[in-house]
Structure formats: structure tokens, C-alpha cells
Amino acid sequence: MTATVYYAELPWPEVERRVANGAPMFLPLGATEQHGRHMALNVDVVLPTAIAARAAAKVSGLVLPTIAYGNRSQPKTGGGPGFPGTINLTASTFSLIIRDVICDLYRQNIRKIVTVNGHYENISATIEGIELALDVLGRERVSDLTIIRIDHWDMIRGETLDRIFPDGYPGIELEHASVIETSMMMALRPDLVDLTKASHDGPAAFLPYDRYPKPCDEVPPSGVLSLTEGSSAEKGEWLLADCEAGVVEIVNREFSGR
């Protein structure tokens, strides 16, 4: 039991012991969102959880239960509300969850917190949640607290992107349910990927503005914003290795000597 990196799998005395030993706490931030016809709805849960677990194992950390619902899916980054399956939280709700979790971690003497995000639309709401937590705790009182906010795709090295996209990287926004996420899922959970159901109806060509309340017609019918062609478990391992190494490097740098 005590060998696990998962916080919720431990009894409270073991959590208390690890916290006393300075274990950094990883909080994966995900979403339940469509990822094309070829992948499960939990991609944004699986990826940050796995990356956090791999990094935690290297730095004697613990992985908190993943927040499995994300800030509202947008057409240009997640396909938007036009697909069955996606469950949205408002930005205010999501930020308040982040606030409350951080405040309660601080109450339990946890001073090293790392959020690992797997859902693009969570970015601004996560920042707001961290800021709200600091407002509640009192910025003048928390000089012993360090919170690191990471989006896992930012850990991917340029050399790896060049290797995977020799004809040019389309950008993380259009990579929704495309080569990066599909390859990582093929490496981690091949049982949740069926490339025979992938539709090559992208890439999306979005207009340079947003329009409400009319649905965004530029989203491909599959929900894949770019293409799945070229995805592989091997590429997924390259990507995961970058993400793990990047997170470990940041944690060692920011928490060294603490």
C-alpha cells in the first residue's frame, strides 16, 4: 500500500509522514471532453495524471485525485459544446475548486504544490484559482508556500516537435485529439484508442473572431481539430519522456533546499 504515489490510496498516517518529509503535492487538472470518434472522453484526465505520477515517483511526491471536470470547452481548442459527452464547469466554479483545494492543502502544512494541467481551457481559471487562494491565505503569511503551475504540452522539447512534425507543428490549440494526444494515449491506454474510427476531416480553418450564440461551423464533424495521421505509441513515449523530464527538472529547481 505505502509504495503508491497516489495520495488517496494511502491511510492518513502515511500521508502525514510524507508531508512531514516534504513531499511535493501534484494536482492533475483535467476535463471530461470529446476527443474525436477514436478516443475516450477522459484523455485530459489520463494524460496529466500519468505525467504527474511519473514525476512524483522521481521526486518522492504524491499525486492528488485528479479534477476530472474542466473549464468550458471552446470550439477553437476543444470542439466546444456541440458534441455529446463533454461536461463543462464555469470558469468561476473551476477557479473556486482550485482555491479551496490549495487552501486546505496549506491548512495541512503542505507547502509544495504543483498543478499539472491537461485541458487547454483550464489555464486562465487555474491562474485565477491560485490567485484567489493567495488572497484567502494572505500573501504576507505564505512566504513558505510555493505553487508551480504547469501545462504538460509546454514540457515538450522543440526537437521532439520537429521530429514528430517535420512539415511544421500546427500549434497546441489545433492539436486537440490529434497526433500529440492520440500518440500519448496510445502509449498509456491503447485500450481507449481506436484509430480505425478516426476521421481525417481536418485541419480546422477557424475565422479570426468568435460568434455567439450561433454554433461554430468551422469545427470538423469528428471533433478532431487537426489530424490523427502519423500517431503512434512510440511518438507517445517520446512526448511522455519530455513531459516527465520537464516536470522533474522544474520541481527540483523550485523546491531545492526546502
| Active-site residue (options: 128, 151, 175, 176) | 176
Active site residue: 33, 128, 151, 244, which one?
A: 33
Catalytic residue, chosen from 16, 38, 44, 210, is: 44
140 in catalytic set: no
What cell does 26 get? 501534484
State the catalytic residue, choosing from 119, 128, 151, 244. 119
Report d(CA 192, CA 38) in Å as an integer. 8
- Which of 128, 151, 175, 181 is flagged as catalytic? 181
**Active site (annotated) includes residue 131:** no
176 is catalytic: yes
Count Cβ neighbours within 10 Å for each residue of 52-86 and write b for 16 or more, e otherwise.
bbbbbeebebbbbebbbbbbbbbbbbbbbeebeeb
E strands within the chain?
25-29, 62-63, 70-71, 88-89, 112-117, 146-151
For the question of residue 191 being annotated catalytic, the response is: no
Distances (CA, A) of 251 to 4, 134, 144: 19, 20, 15
**Quick check: bond before 48 cis, omega within 30?**
no
Q: Is residue 173 among the annotated active site residues? A: no
Q: Is 181 a catalytic residue?
A: yes
Catalytic residue (choose from 121, 175, 242, 244): 121
**Active-site residue flag, 44:** yes
- Catalytic residues, by residue number, are 33, 35, 44, 119, 121, 176, 181
